[in-house]
Amino acid sequence: MTELITAVETVDVRFPTSADLDGSDAMNPEPDYSGAYVTIRTNRGAAGHGLAFTVGRGNDVQVAAVHALAELVVGQPVEEILSDLGGFSRRLTGDSQLRWLGPEKGVIHMAAAAIVNAMWDLYGRREGKPVWRLLSEMTPEQLVDLVDFRYLEDALTRQEALDILRRSEPGRAERTSRLLREGFPAYTTTPGWLGYSDEKLVRLSRQAVADGFPQIKLKVGASIEDDVRRMRLAREAVGPDIRIAVDANQAWGVPQAIAWMKRLASYDPYWIEEPTSPDDILGHALIREMVAPIKVATGEHTHNQVMFKQLLQAGSLDILQMDASRTAGVTENVAILLLAAKFGIPVCPHAGGLGLCEMVQHLAMFDYVAVAGTHEDRVIEYVDHLHEHFTDPVRLRGGRYLAPTAAGLSAELRPESLAAHTFPTGAVWDRKVPA
Amino acid sequence: MTELITAVETVDVRFPTSADLDGSDAMNPEPDYSGAYVTIRTNRGAAGHGLAFTVGRGNDVQVAAVHALAELVVGQPVEEILSDLGGFSRRLTGDSQLRWLGPEKGVIHMAAAAIVNAMWDLYGRREGKPVWRLLSEMTPEQLVDLVDFRYLEDALTRQEALDILRRSEPGRAERTSRLLREGFPAYTTTPGWLGYSDEKLVRLSRQAVADGFPQIKLKVGASIEDDVRRMRLAREAVGPDIRIAVDANQAWGVPQAIAWMKRLASYDPYWIEEPTSPDDILGHALIREMVAPIKVATGEHTHNQVMFKQLLQAGSLDILQMDASRTAGVTENVAILLLAAKFGIPVCPHAGGLGLCEMVQHLAMFDYVAVAGTHEDRVIEYVDHLHEHFTDPVRLRGGRYLAPTAAGLSAELRPESLAAHTFPTGAVWDRKVPA
């Protein structure tokens, strides 16, 4: 009996995080961390889990987009998909009618991410390996076959991608051992949410240093006077040697971003994240030129590999922040890691939200072992929200992510969490009205 | 009694156009022209109509996105919205949770377009004017108040926008009379669909010349040998003086676009449209440099004003093809017309599909009367599909659009067409399985 995909189930899950202003920033004052949670099932009882992250209202639209793509997947043979995951991704993003909804952007692309990630989870479970390790043991040829080069060849050819992967091939085994022993560096955004009091900011900043994090991040962009005060308090709390990144979450226009960062410069911010519209490639390039040596970081809302290609070509960023479910999942992120390696730009994945830490750790660790071959200048974002709802939550020690050892992509929700947070029928929402 | 919005109704309408390969191109082999059709109603019995165009599957996702935004609109006072349509648009595109689904791209942005356009339709009906005329009679200050300058100021300031509008103010009355008398130049895509036979291509090309069109357009990009043959046949059919534009609908990478156009160059193509990914600003700039004097045209998939700003800043296009429902409707299109005027680039709107000709004629005519002040180098796309389903269909004479005189935005579907094409319950779909 051929193994076939029998179901692509999708659940609207939402967590009422707005109640505590966890996750509050200049553009997202009251997020309810949510996801279109996907489970792919086969007729042999196998399953894989993925999700597309959203911040509350509209998660039902995200679920509708998954349903639309699911029709392309149900009934397909599993072996055929796993032997050509690049082709699978191209079928999802290239459907001649559905691509009109993007193309390759917005909810339809995030829906592709949830499905692609669920297939990688299924693949990892089948092979008994965490996805970072599964990727790290693929040959350069297999990895390059995942990439859709149609729109990339003016920046990265198949041959160049192969060369990058072959260069780092000899050290894979050694870096794998080291990763398992020492973990991967992290930074924490926990102290810096915009809705937190000064007292909470200072307390959590000190805690972050005590926990061993080399870097914290503050949200900025609502009020310059507040930002100057909060930056000063944070700098006093952590001392001169801990990096402080700041994140404007797209609040500014280009001239305003430059002016604002001049005001904050005396407190030595390490990077400014999302200073303006995520679509503004040329704007980021100008900001980067004007605020140097402060670095520019962006990527969590960069919607596909064509946009990342241009951010790199235009010299718009110092730090590339890939996201687990904004672009089309693990497969497209392999292409983005290769682009970043070609241009010599470090990848520090965006995380937090719901399950993003769990998923992106696999990408950063694969990058370390088999693509960039280093974690110098690389840190994975860490936020201590909602991990308890996952069956394989991230583990941190001394400010570092420990490498996951369980099979899959670590994106499976615990059944009781899934039931309680299903919107609007779960127990948590039964008692609340959403913000 | 204050006039309030009491309903934002949305219907999934689909037309089985794939049956005849009308609308077939390199990336859309079998489109079923569709729309999330929106009707806004008030407690005084007023109504306005708009739609977001899609090509079939996934139109339900588009409908779900309209539902999500509708919650922000129902119950709002009409007068307040009409006195600040710029603010209305910013509330739709800036909702702190829903913007995560974009931001300002994909189905959530197209949903904003459908609602914003329906409000403009309602406004026009209330004032007893077609929207092109309503816009053309607004003061420069009122028009500039529509624009969200947050991400534009490095390319266009409020003052510069005012200056552009004031410069063309003196000639408004004269151009309005002339427009009513002579109409606005058009070109036709009717002959060139990829699924048509050579015989049909030649026959329809000759017909286009006989009908008075100064320009036709051919779809290309599936097979270079076919394209060379079709281009030769079309050139023979229309003679040397009729412009032939070609449209690749994103089929190529950057090097491939350049190579392909070198092959077609001897037949004197006027512009190459969508040579590559619509997101590839830098790619378009390189293609433009390499294929000159053939012009580069793009914009129907350009998802917002920040992308148009960069296409203009980077010198990526010769022709800007705005769309009625890809960006957030009339309001954002006013900003895009001002950007184009600032950079001296002519706007030739994308049309065809479902109701796009009906809507974009208002934008091009407003541009002529009150922004650019000329229709030199400007043509509106024309495709002769589905007009019979609208209550105020476009009227063409001698290859020119006649200015609409009925109040509103011309996007209202006839009730019997709406009923018959409602998916999947309407009479047309009752008999068919969608492609």
**A238 CA to chain B: closest CA distance, Å?**
31
Give the long-range contacts of residues A20-25, CB within 8 A, separation 24 or more.
A21/A193, A21/A194, A21/A195, A21/A196, A22/A193, A22/A385, A23/A55, A23/A193, A23/A352, A23/A353, A23/A383, A23/A385, A24/A193, A24/A194, A24/A195, A24/A196, A24/A219, A25/A193, A25/A194, A25/A219, A25/A221, A25/A247, A25/A249
**A106 CA to chain B: closest CA distance, Å?**
5
Whether B95 and B72 have beta carbons less than 8 Å apart is answered as: yes
**A72 CA to chain B: closest CA distance, Å?**
11
**Which residue of chain A is at minimal alpha-carbon distance from B153?**
A253
**Which residue of chain B is at minimal alpha-carbon distance from A277?**
B151
Average pLDDT, chain B: 96
Q: Which residues of B touch A277 (CB under 8 A)?
A: 103-104, 151, 306
A350 is catalytic: yes
Q: Does A159 touch chain B (CB under 8 A)?
A: no
Q: Outline where B292-398 has alpha helix (H).
A: 305-313, 329-343, 356-366
Compute the count of residue pairs across chains A and B with CB atoms less than 8 Å apart: 191
Q: Which B residues 46-85 touch A at CB under 8 Å?
A: 54-58, 60-62, 64-65, 68, 71
Whether B46 and B3 have beta carbons less than 8 Å apart is answered as: yes
Whether B112 and B386 have beta carbons less than 8 Å apart is answered as: no
- Nearest-10 crossing angle of helices B305-313, B329-343: 10
Instruction: Output the CA torsion sign for B373, B375, B379, B385.
Output: positive
Q: Outline where B211-354 has alpha helix (H).
A: 224-238, 254-264, 281-291, 305-313, 329-343
B236-255 tens-digit pLDDT? 999 999 999 999 999 999 99
Report how far residue B57's alpha carbon sits from residue B101's, in angstroms, rounded to the nearest whole number.
Answer: 19
pLDDT band, very low/low/confident/very high, at A435 (cuts 50, 70, 90): very low
B378-421 tens-digit pLDDT? 999 999 999 999 999 999 999 999 999 999 999 999 999 999 99
- Sorted by sequence, the CB contacts under 8 Å of residue A23 that are 6+ apart come out as A17, A31, A33, A55, A193, A352, A353, A383, A385
Q: Which residues of B touch A56 (CB under 8 A)?
A: 97
Q: Does B424 touch chain A (CB under 8 A)?
A: no
**B87 CA to chain A: closest CA distance, Å?**
17
pLDDT band, very low/low/confident/very high, at A195 (cuts 50, 70, 90): confident
Q: Which residues of B touch A28 (CB under 8 A)?
A: 96-97, 100
3-state secondary structure of A56: coil
Whether A364 and A299 have beta carbons less than 8 Å apart is answered as: no
A303-334 tens-digit pLDDT? 999 999 999 999 999 999 999 999 999 999 99
Mutate to test the interface with B, among A101, A108, A249 (most CBs of B within 10 A): A101
Of B101, B154, B253, Cβ closest to residue A253: B154
pLDDT of A200 strictly over 50 = yes
pLDDT of B1 strictly over 90 = no
List the structure tokens of B161.
């926008």
* Torsion (CA) B20, B25, B26, B32 in degrees, nearest 10: -60
Report how far residue A121's alpha carbon sits from residue B388's, in angstroms, rounded to the nearest whole number.
Answer: 50
Catalytic residue among A350, A362, A389, A421: A350
Are A58 and B100 an interchain contact pair (Cβ–Cβ within 8 Å)? Answer: yes
Range of weakest confidence among A111-120, A189-198, B34-43, B346-355: A189-198
3-state secondary structure of A253: coil
pLDDT of B64 strictly over 60 = yes
pLDDT value at position B29?
Answer: 80
Are B100 and A68 an interchain contact pair (Cβ–Cβ within 8 Å)? Answer: no
Q: Does B176 touch chain A (CB under 8 A)?
A: no
Whether B341 and B372 have beta carbons less than 8 Å apart is answered as: yes
Average pLDDT, chain A: 96
Q: How many CA atoms lie within 13 A of A212 on its CB side?
A: 10
Q: Does A118 touch chain B (CB under 8 A)?
A: no
Whole-number percent of chain A with pLDDT over 70: 99
pLDDT of B278 strictly over 90 = yes
Phi, psi of B388 (to 5 degrees): -65, -10
Whole-model pTM: value is 0.97
Q: Which residues of B touch A280 (CB under 8 A)?
A: 151, 306, 309-310
Whole-number percent of chain A with pLDDT over 90: 94
Nearest to B366 by CA among B168, B80, B149: B168
Report how far residue A368's alpha carbon sits from residue B216's, in angstroms, rounded to the nearest whole number.
Answer: 53
Whether B124 and B134 have beta carbons less than 8 Å apart is answered as: yes
pLDDT band, very low/low/confident/very high, at A18 (cuts 50, 70, 90): confident
Whether B10 and B35 have beta carbons less than 8 Å apart is answered as: no
pLDDT value at position B18?
Answer: 86
Distance between terminal CA atoms of chain B?
49
Phi, psi of A400 (to 5 degrees): -135, 145
Question: How far out from the chain centre does Cα A301 lie?
Answer: 10
Are A54 and B97 an interchain contact pair (Cβ–Cβ within 8 Å)? Answer: yes
Q: Which residues of B touch A307 (CB under 8 A)?
A: 279
- Nearest-10 crossing angle of helices B198-210, B224-238: 30
Q: Does A283 touch chain B (CB under 8 A)?
A: yes
**B285 CA to chain A: closest CA distance, Å?**
12
DSSP labels for A370-415?
IIS---TT--EEE--SSGGGBSS---EETTEEPPP-SSB-S-PBPH
Range of weakest confidence among A159-168, A190-199, B91-100, B320-329: A190-199
**A346 CA to chain B: closest CA distance, Å?**
22
pLDDT value at position A313?
Answer: 98
Q: Does A91 touch chain B (CB under 8 A)?
A: no
- Report the 10 Å Cβ neighbour count for B2: 10
Report how far residue B121's alpha carbon sits from residue B113's, in angstroms, rounded to the nearest whole number.
Answer: 12
**Which residue of chain A is at minimal alpha-carbon distance from B25?**
A96
Three-class secondary structure assignment of B156-197: CCHHHHHHHHHHHCCCHHHHHHHHHHHCEEEEEEEEECCCCC
List the structure tokens of B115.
């609602």
pLDDT value at position B435?
Answer: 46
Query: Could you check whether the bond before residue B424 is cis, i.e. omega within 30 degrees of 0?
Result: yes
pLDDT of A267 strictly over 60 = yes
Nearest 5°: the CA angle A332, A336, A341 is 150
Average pLDDT over residues B322-343: 98
Of A56, A97, A151, Cβ closest to residue B97: A56
- 10 Å CB burial of residue B90 (0-12, 13-18, 19+) is middle
Nearest to B38 by CA among B2, B76, B64, B75: B64
Whole-number percent of chain B with pLDDT over 90: 94
Q: Which residues of B are catalytic?
A: 219, 350
Q: Which residues of B touch A57 (CB under 8 A)?
A: 68, 71, 95, 97-98
pLDDT value at position B30?
Answer: 86
pLDDT band, very low/low/confident/very high, at B24 (cuts 50, 70, 90): confident
List the structure tokens of B357.
């000709």
pLDDT band, very low/low/confident/very high, at B332 (cuts 50, 70, 90): very high
Q: Does B402 touch chain A (CB under 8 A)?
A: no
- Sorted by sequence, the CB contacts under 8 Å of residue A33 that are 6+ apart come out as A14, A15, A17, A23, A53, A55, A56, A353, A354, A385, A386
Q: What is the DSSP pairing of strand A380-382 with strand A215-219?
A: unpaired
pLDDT value at position B432?
Answer: 62
Query: Could you check whether the bond before residue B130 is cis, i.e. omega within 30 degrees of 0?
Result: no
Looking at residue A101, its amino acid is: L
Whether B318 and B297 have beta carbons less than 8 Å apart is answered as: yes
Distance between terminal CA atoms of chain A?
49
pLDDT of A434 strictly over 60 = no
Q: Which B residues 201-230 touch A at CB under 8 Å?
A: none
A371-410 tens-digit pLDDT? 999 999 999 999 999 999 999 999 999 999 999 999 999 9
A219 is catalytic: yes
Q: Which residues of A touch B152 (CB under 8 A)?
A: 253
Q: Which A residues 338-397 touch B at CB under 8 Å?
A: none
| Domains of chain A as residue ranges with CATH | 5-130+418-430 (3.30.390.10), 167-413 (3.20.20.120)
